[in-house]
Structure 1
Amino acid sequence: MATLLRKIGLIRLHDRDTEDPKHHQGSLKGTKGTPKNNKHCQTANDANILSTPEIKARKLDQHGKDKEKPGKDAKEKQQQQQQQQQQTGGSGNKSTAASSVPPLAPHRHHCTQVRTRRLMKELQEIRRLGDSFITVELVEENLFDWNVKLHQVDKDSALWQDMKETSTEFILLNVTFPDNFPFSPPFMRVLTPRLENGYVLDGGAICMELLTPRGWSSAYTVEAVMRQFAASLVKGQGRICRKAGKSKKAFSRKEAEATFKSLVKTHEKYGWVSPPVSDG
């Protein structure tokens, strides 16, 4: 009997462990913590993974990029505006100032410096020598506009005799220097007295090849030009005009410029060896 009861008990135990759904449910109740723990561990693991320095840095970097987008766009826009300003020569007051007072072109500025240095040097040299051949006065303190007094010509010439008889102490000339002097010749004309012949034409224009672009050399000094002029006066048999009325008529710059332009065209056509009679 006892053996039978033990058998029945074993069968019930087996059935309870294997077939009773309630037992499975009860047994699952005891294991519910495991899934929770597993879920908690997974969450914890996710949290731990996301809290690593690499992920944090990645998050911060992404967050920073999102923040920087507007600023970056603004910076790029500002750079584009600056480039446009540089291409258009700036803006605002700078642009206005640049447009109102344009700077000298580099070549022109260089020529102005060369002209100034050259004329200062020549003027100092003439004043330093202090000889009785020529003297120079600036017209209204303008370095580029000279009045030159020619005190001497060949003493054996008729012109020198005229100067003595008329008490003419000097022949006064005006010499103006262009922007690109000494690479271009000065414009020179006689002011007083009124001369005849000697290659001095209407308005006081002077017919000398070295005063033209074709005959000019930057090596010529003002003193050398004046010596050449003094020689041409004697060679061309220049005289002081003594005719009544005509001798009192002053030379004019406008007339001299027109005459010089005309004589240059004439000599370009016929040459400078034998100038026409009308040109002196």
Structure 2
Amino acid sequence: MATLLRKIGLIRLHDRDTEDPKHYQGSFKGSKSNQKNNTKHCNTSSDNNILNPPDTKTKKFEQSNKDKPPGKEKQTSKDIKEKQQVAASKAPATPLQPLVPHRQHCTQVRTRRLMKELQEIKRLADNFITVELADDNLFEWNVKLHQVDRDSALWQDMKDTNTEYILLNISFPDNFPFSPPFMRVLTPRLENGYVLDGGAICMELLTPRGWSSAYTVEAVMRQFAASLVKGQGRICRKTGKSKKSFSRKDAEATFKSLVKTHEKYGWVSPPVSDG
């Protein structure tokens, strides 16, 4: 029996010794490689958990930089600086104060002057002239001249024809009193006396060259009354001439023509001192 057991043991030992050791080595290597693979797999998964997020951000940042055209940010900042410099150069150093329009200022000056003159004319004691606003327009007057030299032929004509006054129309320009008014005779129709077609009046002081802002309407009308007498003005009694219309258009055209003539040959109307 002992001999049999020994033989069985020898056979097992012989079988173990005769087995290919590579088989065990392969199993061992396989187990080691499996361990290495498992380890590497765990390390890879752990690497993904830790390193992947910043790695992804880096790739996205690099991709976004690739999508942007080169030098765009620098160019934009440069453009902004240039625009700021241009805006600064155009901007005034100090804020400008709003200016009063020239036309509005002239209207205020003209209004104050005419209101003052209206009050002064109303206070005249001799009733030399009276004034009515044409269509309630402060800048256009209908002036009635009630008196001329009582020794003149014109005064006699006024008495004979029951003419109480000589009616004139006066228009004041925007820049009055720095420019002269335009004045013309409406009724009656006059001959001579420096009164021309359309009722235009030949007087140097009614031109820009002869005008002064110190002249008042009263002073102009007194000068006109004197020129009528000195120019031997008469009331026109001829039927054809008396019916001729005195339009403003005709008066303006006549006045422009006579101004050109007198600027070339000189003025012969009586000076202001004769009034």
Would you say same fold, with TM above 0.5?
yes
Structure 1 CA distance for aligned equivalents of residues 186 and 111 of structure 2: 24
Change (3 A) 1:116 1:167: same
8 Å CA contact retained: 1:192, 1:250? no
**Counterpart Cα distance in 2 of 1:274 and 1:153:** 17
Out of 175, 185, 188, the position equivalent to 1:190 is 185
In the alignment, structure 1 residue 106 sits paired with structure 2 residue 101? yes
* CA distance in 1: counterparts of 2:115 and 2:176, whole angstroms: 13
SS at match of 2:184: strand
Q: What is the rounded CA distance, in whole Å, between the counterparts of 2:245 and 2:132 in structure 1?
A: 20
Residue 124 of structure 1 pairs with residue 114 of structure 2: no
TM-score (norm 2): 0.62
Cα distance in 1 between the residues matched to 2:258 and 2:100? 33
Q: Counterparts of 1:139 and 1:130 in 2: how far apart (Å)?
A: 24
Distance, in Å, in 2 between the alignment partners of 1:255 and 1:195 is 15
Q: Which amino acid aligns with 2:117?
A: E
Q: Distance in 2 between matches of 1:209 and 1:269?
A: 13
Give me the whole-angstrom Cα distance separating, in 1, the residues matched to 2:257 and 2:171.
Answer: 19
Provide the rounded CA distance (Å) in 2 between the counterparts of 1:140 and 1:245: 30
Provide the TM-score with structure 1 as the length reference. Answer: 0.60
Contact 1:178 1:185 in 2 (8 A): yes
Among 156, 159, 164, the residue aligned to 2:159: 164
Which 5+ residue runs of structure 1 have no aligned equivalent? Answer: 1-72, 88-102, 276-280
Once the two structures are aligned, what percentage of the paired residues are identical? 87
Shift of 1:174: 0.1
Residue by residue, what CA displacement relative to the aligned partner does 1:59-100 show, whole Å, maximum 9, x if unpaired?
A: xxxxxxxxxxxxxx9xx9xxx8xx79x98xxxxxxxxxxxxx
Deviation at 1:120, TM superposition (A): 0.4
Matching of residues 252-267 of structure 1 within 5 Å? 252-267=247-262
Instruction: Give, as a single letter, the amino acid of the residue that structure 1 aligns with 2:103.
Output: R
Shift of 1:107: 2.1
Number of the residue aligned with 2:172? 177
User: What's the counterpart of residue 215 of structure 2?
Assistant: 220
Aligned pair count reads 182
| Residue aligned with 1:245, SS | helix
Cα pair 1:159 1:234 within 8 Å, conserved: yes
Displacement of 1:181: 0.3
Residue 130 of structure 1 deviates from its aligned partner by: 5.3
Partner in structure 1 of residue 246 of structure 2: 251
Per-residue deviation, 1:167: 0.2
Letter in 2 for 1:159: L
Give the Cα–Cα distance (whole angstroms) in 2 for the partners of residues 226 and 104 of structure 1.
37
Match of 2:237, SS state, is: coil
Question: What SS does the aligned partner of 2:254 have?
Answer: helix
- How far residue 271 of structure 1 moved from its aligned partner, in angstroms, is 0.8
Per-residue deviation, 1:108: 2.0
Q: Which has the larger radius of gyration?
A: 2
Structure 2 CA distance, aligned partners of 1:264 and 1:229?
17
Distance between the aligned counterparts of 1:166 and 1:108, measured in 2? 45
User: Does residue 204 of structure 2 align to residue 209 of structure 1?
Assistant: yes
Contact map agreement 2:227 2:269 (CA 8 A) in 1: no
